[in-house]
Amino acid sequence: MISVVDLDDSQLVTLKLESGNYLRFQPDTGAQCDVILVSLYKKATKDYRLERVTPANAQLSAYGGSKLQVVGSVQITVWRDDFKCQLDCKLVDNNAICPLLRRKACVGMRIIKYTDNDQLNKPRTGSAPVYSLVKPNITKVT
């Protein structure tokens, strides 16, 4: 869920903020939340005192099991061309983190598009059983 800053520009998406500034995100279809580094949030939004941020006492679980402390949570509005999206961002204080854009935001702003899944192309399973979770057991980070 958390990505180390080791990307080239072709993997990033630039979004406009209400402040008129722009912030670059890494689309991450496995991320369960949008993540921004606190220092980038302050600069990009001009909310230097974190007045719009709700403090949080939570941790994010990164891919591989490492934990990141969440400083707070904040709603920000972003635009990409004509697409407007409200992000519920978790703020972290770790310079190795690239801002992440979760799957829901990526799909909503047409950054990614599923061209092949079971709803678009029904798999031919014949009489073989198909096993799946009815609803994934996901713990919500607050």
> What's 101's domain CATH number?
2.40.70.10
Say what the pTM is.
0.75
> Residue 34 sits in which domain range?
9-108
* Contact partners, residue 105, CB within 8 Å, separation at least 6: 34, 85, 87, 111
Whether residue 55 lies inside any domain: the answer is yes
Domain count, the chain: 1
Whether residue 48 lies inside any domain: the answer is yes
Whether residue 3 lies inside any domain: the answer is no
Whether residue 124 lies inside any domain: the answer is no
pLDDT per residue over 50-77, tens digit each?
A: 999 999 988 888 777 788 899 999 999 9
Helix or strand holding residue 86 (H, E): strand 83-92
